[in-house]
Amino acid sequence: MASIARLIPAGLTGRRRFNSLSEKEILALAISSEEEDGRIYATYADHLRAAFPASAAIFEGMAKEEDGHRGRLIERFRERFGETIPPIRREHVADFYQRRPVWLVENLGLETIREEVDVMERQAETFYRLAASRTNDAATRKLLGDLAMAEAGHVRTADRLAKAHLPPGEKEEEDRGARRQFILTWVQPGLAGLMDGSVSTLAPIFATAFATEDPWTTFLVGLSASVGAGISMGFTEAAHDDGKLSGRGSPWKRGLASGVMTALGGLGHALPYLIPSFWTATAIAFVVVFLELWAIVWIQNRYMETPFLRAAFQVVLGGGLVLAAGILIGGGI
């Protein structure tokens, strides 16, 4: 992204280039960046406090450190440039890194947040090293260099805070809780949708295929069945449980997972019928059905801890029976 941005004249974007900023503007940018990062860490802490209180304490500690950095930067700015800090932020600089919008934190899991923080600290370290190279004032250069080392050391800080707030057993429990929430919110409704879309559409699609031997008609039936089933499953999943008592998470997330996977499950063996040759399309559709059923078996075994043989027996047998019913009915029995 940064390399592409350099090809666009700054005037066309209304933003400045980093190498065009004065020392005063660089310090102002550093201050606003520390303020934003501190708020992001505080938001992470608030988001995690109910389910993962120990991890929340870690991010509260990091937010305090960012506030300390901000204070040191403001003090240095006052000494050199006075009381008025220019309102320059990341989005005003064309080739500067951007942070993920804070409201997206609601869609991030615990492990993803930890990875996001690691990226944030590495970007901040790079910024301070570049900023230090752009100033001729010894005290300012020292401050920016110290902050670069501090950002580089935040990974160690996180480790230190983790030891204080996250004993091994508690961290394992939080990780298990995060995985459990991921399964309840995304995997379970998505798996139900995939099973419904893959299995329930077998009969109408293959019945139409063998009754008409017309690939286009079969595709239209498959498309309508898949989209209709996806909409129905998505609304049903979202409407029947708000997730507050069951702890299954946001209803719209579950509805999205269920609806999309239902539609994809049906479209998988409907799309081959875009091929004009009936038997070629049917052969490919059979292969797709085989892959879909085994994907369901793998997901059940991997995430739902269903014994592999039992999952295989249930899914493959059930899917085979529905497929056979569709073929027999379409062929006029």
Q: What is the pLDDT along the chain (333 residues), one digit of tens a residue?
A: 344 344 444 444 567 888 888 999 999 999 999 998 898 888 888 888 877 787 788 888 888 989 999 999 999 999 999 999 998 888 888 767 777 666 555 566 666 777 677 778 878 888 898 889 888 889 899 999 988 888 877 656 555 545 555 555 555 655 666 666 777 778 888 888 888 888 889 989 999 999 999 999 999 999 999 999 999 888 888 877 666 545 567 788 888 998 999 999 999 999 999 999 999 999 999 999 999 989 888 888 887 777 888 878 888 888 888 888 888 887 765
Q: What's the rounded Cα separation, in Å, for the pair 304 and 300?
A: 5
Helix, strand, or coil (residue 97): coil
Q: What is the torsion angle, in degrees rounded to the nearest 10, for the CA atoms of residue 173, residue 178, residue 179 and residue 183?
A: 140
- CB-based contact 238:252 (threshold 8 Å): yes
- CB-based contact 239:189 (threshold 8 Å): no
Q: What's the rounded Cα separation, in Å, for the pair 165 and 249?
A: 26
Alpha helix positions (H), the chain: 2-6, 10-13, 23-48, 53-81, 110-133, 138-152, 154-165, 168-182, 188-200, 202-212, 215-240, 251-268, 278-303, 308-330
Give the tens place of pLDDT for each residue, 141-155. Answer: 999 998 888 887 765
- CB-based contact 226:262 (threshold 8 Å): yes
CA 43 to chain centre: 17
**Six-digit token pair at 76?**
């240095």
Q: What's the rounded Cα separation, in Å, for the pair 228 and 223?
A: 8
Q: Would you tell me how many other CB atoms lie within 10 Å of the CB of residue 6? A: 11
Beta bridge partners of 16: 93
**Six-digit token pair at 162?**
């983790």
**b/e map of 280-315 (b: 16 or more CB within 10 Å)?**
ebbebbeebbeebbebbbebbbebeebeeeebbeeb
Q: What is the torsion angle, in degrees rounded to the nearest 10, for the CA atoms of residue 15, residue 19, residue 20 and residue 23?
A: 110
**b/e map of 184-193 (b: 16 or more CB within 10 Å)?**
bbbbbbbbbb
Of the candidates 149, 44, 51, 147, which has an alpha carbon nearest to the alpha carbon of residue 102?
44
Q: What's the rounded Cα separation, in Å, for the pair 93 and 294?
A: 49
Angle between helix 188-200 and 202-212 (nearest 10) = 20
Q: How many CA atoms lie within 13 A of 128 on its CB side?
A: 25
**Six-digit token pair at 88?**
């320059």
Residues 6+ apart with CB under 8 A from 221: 204, 205, 208, 270
Helix, strand, or coil (residue 31): helix
Residues 6+ apart with CB under 8 A from 78: none
Query: Cα-flanking dihedrals φ and ψ of residue 93, to 5°?
Result: -115, 120
Quote the pLDDT of residue 3: 40
